[in-house]
Chains A and B, each alone.
Chain A
Amino acid sequence: MTQDRLTLRLIVLLVCATLLAACTTLPPATGDPRAMKFDPVTFTIPEVERIVLENGIIVYLLPDLELPLVTVSAMIRTGAVYEPPEKVGLAALTGTVMRTGGTARMTGDQIDEELEFLAANVGVGIGSESGTASLDILKKDLGRGLVIFADMLRTPAFEPAKVELAKRQALEAIRRRPDSPAGIAGREFRKLLYGADHPLGRESTIETVSRITREDLVAFHRQYFTPSGLILGVTGDFEKPAMLDALRKVFGDWKPQPVTLPAIPPVTALPASGSSRSVNILSRDLTQTNLRVGHLSVKEDDPDFFALALLGDILGGNSFTSRLFRDVRSRQGLAYSVGSRLVPGNLGPGAFLLYALTKGSSTHQALASMLDHMERLRQEPVTDDELQFAKDAFLNSFVFSFADAGLIVGRLMALEYYGLPKDFLQRFRDSVVKLTKEDLLRVARKHLHPDRVVILAVGKDDDFEQPLSTFGQVRHLTLKPGG
């Protein structure tokens, strides 16, 4: 194979030599890019200091003096997974109004005025599995910024008018959900994977949001926002001792209180734990089908995680070069967006996902190709060249995981939050180096199950060139209002 290619290239060069006119624009001085060899990429990872304040707040510090800016990021041990099922949407609303609803010292409008005049960016949000907040401010304004930022985390006022505004906005967003086919596919697929009632699968509705009161927000904040649940990361233009003093000044007298996190129930959704494929169609009047294929998968602490992640790169993770991209997009012309990814599980199981968007009349063909590619990874080892390429791409781009201080500190915070080792990425690299074709085949056979996947097609099934029943028994889903 390699030999053939070399010979062909020699012929090309000879042909060029005789047809000079056609070749004058070639850049001969640098030669064939395929033959170029480079030294390995070396770099030093800066030391990040980790300090625990007296009240339990964990602080990561990494100065970076290039620009007169300071960024303070926070992770807070909370999340939508802990909100009561009859009030889904509470966590997100709490985060929104912590940012907009004022503090003990200032109204929300005063805060907005001051921060925007200082050109400071401040955000607070509560996602599915964590709360986050950030302050990004010019160095000269850091003192004011820190006071406001700490007040937001410690003493949010939840002004009733801002609570009402946030609720109304959330309800309007729910009303607008059916407008986005990709949004529908994402939410419905998560419900199929984790179960519509599971904290990782459920979604807010008009009913659950309407039920939420200001007192719910106050209580949710009081329950989770405490020094022992807080991790801070500071990067930018500062000196460590001064920064620690400043942090102690605004956070030091915050009394810790114990937090009990409700247990997250195991995932028992039927399709996910089933023994055959679950084929689902959500009929919408669209000219393009949104296809999702996948099943639950391992968490980041699983010994096979790294191998599975590399398999994901080969199958559909690498843009342009992955199997799905090259076949479903470039060779067959069936999709613009196609790929796969391993979604790491943090609090619950992870998921191995494939996706494609294709016109109605090629839905069956695209889906069949996706399943074939998944199956092929179980049937035959990847080629030597594919494995080497995936490793090279991973290892040579590894430096980008350390490209700036914010990335480095943000990762350390997340690793600590999820209880993963701080050298997780270095372990990832070390195990990728050692992976063999046989490892990948074993992991594919153990962790990829094209015969047990959940399939979701959001599109106009009348247009499908063949019924999807060839893949398994079809269930027709209906979209609930605001679903």
Chain B
Amino acid sequence: MPRRIVVLLLSLILLAGLASAANLEDRVVEHRLANGLTLLLMERHQAPIVAVNLTYKVGGVYEHNGITGVAHLYEHMAFKGTRTIGVTDAEKEKPVLEELDRLAEAVMAEKLKGPAADQTRLAALRKRFTEVEAQAQQFVVPAELATLYQRNGGVGLNATTGKDVTRYFLSFPANRLPLWAAVESDRMANGVLREFYKEKKVVLEERRQSTDNSSNGRLHEAFAAAAFLAHPYGQPVIGWPSDLEALSRTQTEAFFQTYYGPVNAVLAVVGDIKPKEVIALVENTFGRIPARPPAPPVLTEEPPYSGERRVEVEFSAEPQLLIGYHKPSASHPDDDVFDVLESLLSEGRTSRLYKRLVQEKQLALNISAFSDYPGAQYPNLFVISAAPRAPHTTTEIEQAVYEELDRLKREPVSPHELQKILNQVDAAQVRALRSNSGMASRLAYFQAISEDWRETFKRRDRIAKVTPDDIRRVAAQYFTKSNRVVATLVKPEDGAGKDKP
């Protein structure tokens, strides 16, 4: 105990006043394993706890029609265990799972015959499927992976799948690091897809919850699909229902083998750690995983086209509006200007869109702008989202938004506004350090997206260099009608019920 206190005092003295970006950078330790895994470490000794964020460079953007939803479905499967966790006997389980796959494929093949499908055969296959699924269940040790973590004080265990990255995270008492390293490296190397067909049903429920019965979810899905003709950013991460139904365990396993190699992973560990010890532990666990070939990049590029695209979604809910402009990826210099535009237009009550549309004209209940939609890795959209305040309409909002965007093309932004944005970026850098998990997430994200965790600091310096002329140029170049996508949520014409297929 006394040693702890001394360490704590020392670190307090060391840390006092150390919040500038340069000093923050010095606190990050980077280590690359021979198999390609990138490890990022930061010491914070406020409490004997640690946050880990394991980010894989995989997400919905690596899918194509027919297998949409596979990245997210795999993320669910990653909680089902490995060859030794979550199972009583993996060797005996294997043939049962394979028989289940054959039955699922037979059911699918029969169903695809449509009206010609043999209903008797289908019923028999389904009956057999249920029996074999029950057999497979005999081998399952339910939720053993989560049980191991939670029994040891793990909190916040979860994962998210986005367009660009899939992230696994939790926090736990720092002295449990060896347990975490054993479980997590096992999960990276030896994941077994069990309870697969049941989990598909769970994901379909997730889709019903987040998309099918959500006005917002439906609008965003249609908006992205309208915005991208060719690029996979137009497909939903949760997957189209028919793809989810048809996805096989083999396809999902193949996806895992392709994208979950160490070279495709970034591991950030922030908290009460000694970097040397963590490096040794990670070398001894994750380091034993053989290297795999780098994952294939996304080859499809969005072809250039001109002309506004408009899409309506009928849904029995109050109106909503999304306006998007195509813009380049995070690596393009103009991306920093869009970061500034995002703040200028919608950060806080003094931002331009809030002030004009919510406070003064009172057309909107809320309005926000966000860059890098729906992902940052590839060319994407700058989006403005708003809900009109009755009796005002989405048309009135559109008009007022375009007027504000046109103003950006004519009038230079004041130095005061730019300084305010920079102040907010600086303060956000300091606040990010308040939580281990927030910092772990930030480091791993920037490393995964731009191969450089220092981006979190470099971005600040680039924002500081953005000039009023840059903003005028970017606004004039990108905020044009022919570069625009607009989606509106409208009530069904008959006024009753929700949209029906």
A residues lining the B interface (CB < 8 Å): 5, 8-9, 11-12, 15, 22, 24-34, 36, 38-39, 41-44, 64-69, 100, 109, 112-113, 116-119, 136, 138, 165, 168-169, 172-173, 175-176, 178-181, 237, 285-288, 318-321, 325-326, 329-337, 357-359, 389, 392-393, 395-400, 402-404
Contact = CB atoms under 8 A, between A and B. Distances in A.
A216 B27 CA distance: 53
A392 B154 CA distance: 10
A336 B209 contact: yes
A403 B213 contact: no
B183 A397 contact: no
Contacts of B79: 320
A172 B289 CA distance: 56
A361 B47 CA distance: 48
Interface stretch (B84-92, B106-114, B460-468): B84-92
A336 B202 contact: yes
B118 interface: no
B331 interface: no
Nearest to B145: A320
Given A31-B182, A179-B317, A325-B143, A38 B176 contact: yes
B176 A403 contact: no
Nearest to B437: A403
Contact of A42 (B1, B17, B433): B1
A205 to B, nearest CB: 16
Interface stretch (B374-382, B395-403, B421-429, B448-456): B421-429
A400 B174 CA distance: 11
Contacts, number: 252
B349 interface: yes
Interface in B363-414: 365, 387, 389-390
B318 A359 contact: no
Contacts of A44: 1, 4-5
15 contacts: A25-B290, A27-B189, A32-B84, A32-B182, A38-B173, A42-B1, A69-B431, A109-B350, A116-B347, A117-B416, A287-B208, A320-B145, A331-B198, A335-B202, A357-B205
B487 to A, nearest CB: 16
Nearest to B389: A172
A43 B1 CA distance: 8
A179 B498 CA distance: 11
Contacts of A393: 150-151, 153
B215 to A, nearest CB: 5
A398 B215 CA distance: 39
Contacts of A330: 142-143, 195, 198-199, 202
Interface string B258-293: 000000000000000000000001001110111000
A402 B347 CA distance: 32
Interface in B1-54: 1, 4-5, 12, 15-17, 19, 44, 46-49
A116 B420 contact: yes
B19 A176 contact: no
Nearest to A395: B153
A42 B48 contact: yes
B329 interface: no
Nearest to B420: A117
Nearest to A325: B143
A44 B390 CA distance: 55
Contacts of B158: 319
A416 to B, nearest CB: 23
Contacts of B173: 38, 41, 396-397, 399
Contacts of B312: none
Contact of B12 (A65, A119, A173, A176): A65
A336 B12 CA distance: 43
A38 B182 CA distance: 14
Contacts of B427: 119, 138
A12 B171 CA distance: 30
Interface string B432-459: 0111000000000000000000000000
B190 interface: yes
Interface in B87-102: 88-91
A431 to B, nearest CB: 19
A400 B349 contact: no
B12 A25 contact: no
A325 B143 CA distance: 9
B362 A27 contact: no
A116 B285 contact: no
Contacts of A331: 137, 142, 195, 198
B497 to A, nearest CB: 5
Contact of B150 (A117, A172, A389, A398): A389
B289 A12 contact: no
Nearest to B499: A285
A389 B179 contact: no
B294 interface: no
Contact of A116 (B15, B90, B348): B348
